[in-house]
Amino acid sequence: MKKTSTRLADGRELIYYDSRDDAVRSAQDHRPLPHSETLSELRHDPVRDEWVVVAAHRQGRIYHPPADECPLCPSRDGRLSEIPESDYEVVVFENRFPSLAAHPHPELVTAAPPNVIEPAAGRCEVVCFTPDHDASFADLTPQQVGTVLEAWTDRTAELSALPGVEQVFCFENRGEEIGVTLGHPHGQIYAYPFVTPRTERMIAAAAAHRRRTGRNLFEDQVEAERASGERVVVAGEHWTAFVPFAAHWPYEVHLYPNRRVRDLLALTDDERTEFTHVYLDLLQRFDLLFTPEESAGAVNRTPYIAAWHQAPTRHGAAGPHGSDELALHMELFTIRRTVGKLKFLAGSESGMDVFINDVAPENAARRLREVKP
């Protein structure tokens, strides 16, 4: 993989990832872009003991532009975009409207106790998976997926080394139903200045499991699912994809390497190679979930969120009962529960964090096995 770093007109970093060593990336960004000001701040919720990012400047971000004005397409035919080159494989660049920023606005509102307010230091990046505006991640080749995986891994390493970064989160949102504002196939990466609430809960659960059993929670979970097979969707030599026993969403799949590792950096070449095939298989199954059999080859693309869970970057919580207990895994789920119907987070879910699932996990797994691409 060849990595080429450059700067956009307003100073943001842009990085090309190419599978070919002879790729030349020398185009410059000639847009008259002013340096953007980030007004983000962190506010602590003392009741939940959670941080909330307040990013009022994001109200003005680009929203559903027409395809010929897409900022994630290559710069072609005199139209300048966020990517100066006329073509690319995979591109990562600093978000123009970030929730977190390396240099947040220094002037913060004073908060009286028990409230706490801090600068929203961190980094938000955009990952463009392909130059093809009308494609989807599921349309990529295994080689292209491999380049994306290399980009995720490199960004995890680079962002983890930044001062103050506690957790790196790679993810993709697809579909307007999810809230995507740019249709071009892309994902994002957040470098948080704190450990997220979801990860804190997983660390606590793994520590409690270790105290009860002397074993690792995630290893036990993968072993149990592989032994049962009832909820397994894809079982490979190096990866296992299954619907969790207590799935929150109607169609939700967790993808684990069979060998527990803490982050993307720890994957072997064989694990990386198999991932490209298993992940494409899963995404294609998701697209077939709600596609009528009489569709004559047309695919009804399923809205989804694909989220990588990795251990925090720092070692303060490491040890037998800390973040070293966590296992790298991908969680893939859709908010669609059946054809033409979405799973809305209503009173119980939004008000009390108690999910009510409309589809039995065993039935969801069976359905996903049936729609083999």
Share of the chain above pLDDT 90, in %: 81
CA gap 259, 261 in Å, rounded: 6
Any idea what the CATH number is for the domain that residue 315 is in?
A: 3.30.428.10
- Rounded to an integer, the average pLDDT of 91-117 is 85
Q: Are residues 190 and 213 in the same domain?
A: no
Domain boundary residue among 171, 194, 217? 194
Q: What tokens does 47 get?
A: 């009741």
Q: Are residues 241 and 299 in the same domain?
A: yes
CA gap 85, 298 in Å, rounded: 32
pLDDT value at position 322? 62
Q: Are residues 99 and 245 in the same domain?
A: no
Domain boundary residue among 194, 216, 251? 194
Q: pLDDT tens, 330-351?
A: 999 999 999 889 999 999 999 9
pLDDT value at position 348? 96
Q: Are residues 204 and 153 in the same domain?
A: no
Q: Are residues 128 and 207 in the same domain?
A: no
Q: 268, 291, 317, 308: which is closest to 370 by C-alpha?
A: 291
Place of tokens 């970064």: 165
Q: Are residues 186 and 219 in the same domain?
A: no
pTM of the model: 0.94
Q: pLDDT tens, 243-263?
A: 999 999 999 999 999 999 999
Q: 228, 199, 235: which is closest to 325 by C-alpha?
A: 199
pLDDT value at position 209? 96
Residues with catalytic function: 186
The answer, yes or no, to whether residue 63 has pLDDT greater than 90, is no
Tell me which of 105-114, 231-240, 344-353 is least confident.
105-114
Tell me which residue range forms the domain holding 82. 2-194
Q: Are residues 203 and 121 in the same domain?
A: no
Confidence bin at 40 (pLDDT 50/70/90): confident
* Domains in the chain, number: 2
Q: Is 124 annotated as a binding residue?
A: no
Confidence bin at 64 (pLDDT 50/70/90): confident
pLDDT value at position 156? 98
Q: Is 133 annotated as a binding residue?
A: yes
Q: How far is CA 167 from CA 58, 193, 248, 328, 334, in A?
A: 22, 7, 23, 13, 24
Domain boundary residue among 194, 216, 249? 194
pLDDT value at position 106? 62
Say which residues have a Cβ less than 8 Å from residue 72's Cβ, sequence separation at least 6.
81, 82, 83, 126, 128, 133, 182, 184, 186
Q: Are residues 174 and 205 in the same domain?
A: no
Share of the chain above pLDDT 70, in %: 94
Confidence bin at 68 (pLDDT 50/70/90): confident
> What are the backbone angles phi and psi of residue 350, rounded to the nearest 5°?
-75, -35
Q: Are residues 116 and 203 in the same domain?
A: no
Q: What tokens does 166 get?
A: 């506690």
Q: 22, 27, 31, 32: which is closest to 1 by C-alpha?
A: 22
The answer, yes or no, to whether residue 108 has pLDDT greater than 70, is no
Q: Are residues 9 and 93 in the same domain?
A: yes
Confidence bin at 372 (pLDDT 50/70/90): confident
The length of the chain, given as a count of residues:
373
Does the CA dihedral 134-139-140-145 come out positive or negative?
positive
pLDDT value at position 157? 97
- Rounded to an integer, the average pLDDT of 23-31 is 96
Q: Are residues 239 and 365 in the same domain?
A: yes
Among left, alpha and beta (phi > 0; psi -120 to 50; other), residue 129 is: alpha
Average pLDDT taken over every residue of the chain? 92
Q: pLDDT tens, 186-219?
A: 999 999 999 999 999 999 999 999 999 999 999 9
Q: Is 70 annotated as a binding residue?
A: yes
Q: 14, 32, 45, 169: which is closest to 116 by C-alpha?
A: 45
Q: 65, 88, 119: which is closest to 14 by C-alpha?
A: 88
